[in-house]
């Protein structure tokens, strides 16, 4: 039976009890509005750990002044049901007041990895991410934590944070879960108009095009980016914010591709800003 936990103290005590019993804790941090991608992470955690904890917390520190904090979808009853359906043991659902009784005075900075891509578009976003993830790791004290590859930059930053701070948690990356037509599952997909929903799968098709160019031997980033951009423009009405190629997980922009990379894009439809990527592991690395 899944339990709903709303206070840090109770979550601490539960975690302490399982640690004393020698049981492993898997952790899936989310902001709610759960979809198949989240549920896949929960299923994997449940299969690999004695206990699975899911957090649902819309973290205000990672939203900019003109972003959709107030409009971010929230439905704890639906989220709780979904988490329960895949064997989650605890849903940690703290209020903003519980997590931040006052604005943090000690700041955690995401550093150099946050100066590109999403971090460049959304200044301070990843500082908010590493702050809340640090807090959640300290509250839940998991042995394993599960993060989706859709937010590949976030994944790289969290992995680096764990390494730099010597945190005793294993980060488990989970492949992007897609709709049947290829659209990456996202809480923001609900904001797409009917027409935009028919266009959105072309984002993944553009990444597949980029991958095929790479597979055919193309190593000039500008050429891959130009063809990918042209494809998106030809098949969608979205405004293109980013099409870029970076080393992974170092996040260094590539002009001539070598080693492992990720090809990342961000586009803006009328009410939905969507990101997607593919990570290419190279034998050259």
Which positions are annotated as active-site residues? 38
What does the alpha-carbon distance between residue 153 and residue 249 come to, in Å, rounded to a whole number? 8
Known binding residue 35? Answer is yes
Known binding residue 31? Answer is yes
Known binding residue 177? Answer is yes
Known binding residue 15? Answer is no
Known binding residue 38? Answer is yes
What does the alpha-carbon distance between residue 61 and residue 104 come to, in Å, rounded to a whole number? 10
Known binding residue 182? Answer is no
CB of 141 within 8 A of CB of 49?
no
3-state SS assignment for residue 281 = coil
Known binding residue 51? Answer is no
Which distant-in-sequence residues (6+ apart) come within 8 Å of 250 by Cβ?
none
Known binding residue 121? Answer is no
Give the number of other CB atoms < 10 A from CB of residue 212: 12
Retrieve residue 40's tokens: 């896949």
- Bridge partners of 166? none
Known binding residue 135? Answer is no
**Cα–Cα distances in Å, from 251 out to 12, 116, 126, 131, 175?**
35, 8, 14, 20, 19
What does the alpha-carbon distance between residue 42 and residue 252 come to, in Å, rounded to a whole number? 31
Nearest of 263, 235, 238 to residue 248 by alpha carbon: 263
Known binding residue 149? Answer is yes
Known binding residue 154? Answer is yes
Binding-site residue set for ATP:
31-38, 148-151, 177, 185-188
Which residues sit in the known binding site for (R)-pantoate? 62, 154
Please state the residue numbers annotated as binding site for beta-alanine.
62
Q: Detail the residues annotated as belonging to a binding site.
A: 31-38, 62, 148-151, 154, 177, 185-188
């Amino acid at each position: 039976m899944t339990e709903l936990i709303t206070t840090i103290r109770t979550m601490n005590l539960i975690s302490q009890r399982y640690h004393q019993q020698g049981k492993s804790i898997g952790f899936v941090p989310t902001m709610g509005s759960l979809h198949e991608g989240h549920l896949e992470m929960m299923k994997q955690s449940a299969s690999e750990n004695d206990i699975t904890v899911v957090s649902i917390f819309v973290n205000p520190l990672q939203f900019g002044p003109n972003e959709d904090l107030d409009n971010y979808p929230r439905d704890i009853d639906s989220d709780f049901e979904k988490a329960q359906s895949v064997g989650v043991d605890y849903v940690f659902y703290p209020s903003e007041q519980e997590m931040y009784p006052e604005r943090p005075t000690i700041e955690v900075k995401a550093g150099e990895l946050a100066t590109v891509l999403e971090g460049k578009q959304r200044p301070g976003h990843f500082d908010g991410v590493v702050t809340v993830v640090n807090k959640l790791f300290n509250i839940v004290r998991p042995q394993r934590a599960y993060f989706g590859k859709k937010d590949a930059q976030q994944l790289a930053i969290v992995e680096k944070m764990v390494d730099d701070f010597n945190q005793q948690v294993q980060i488990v990356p989970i492949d992007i879960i897609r709709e049947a037509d290829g659209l990456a599952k996202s809480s923001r997909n609900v904001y797409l108009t009917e027409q935009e929903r028919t266009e959105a799968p072309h984002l993944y098709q553009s990444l597949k095009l980029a991958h095929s160019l790479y597979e055919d031997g193309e190593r000039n980033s500008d050429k891959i980016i130009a063809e990918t951009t042209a494809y998106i423009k030809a098949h969608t009405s979205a405004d293109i914010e980013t099409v870029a190629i970076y080393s992974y997980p170092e996040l260094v922009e590539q002009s001539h591709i070598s080693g492992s990379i990720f090809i990342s894009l961000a586009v803006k439809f009328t009410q939905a800003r969507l990101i997607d990527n593919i990570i290419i592991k190279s034998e050259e690395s």
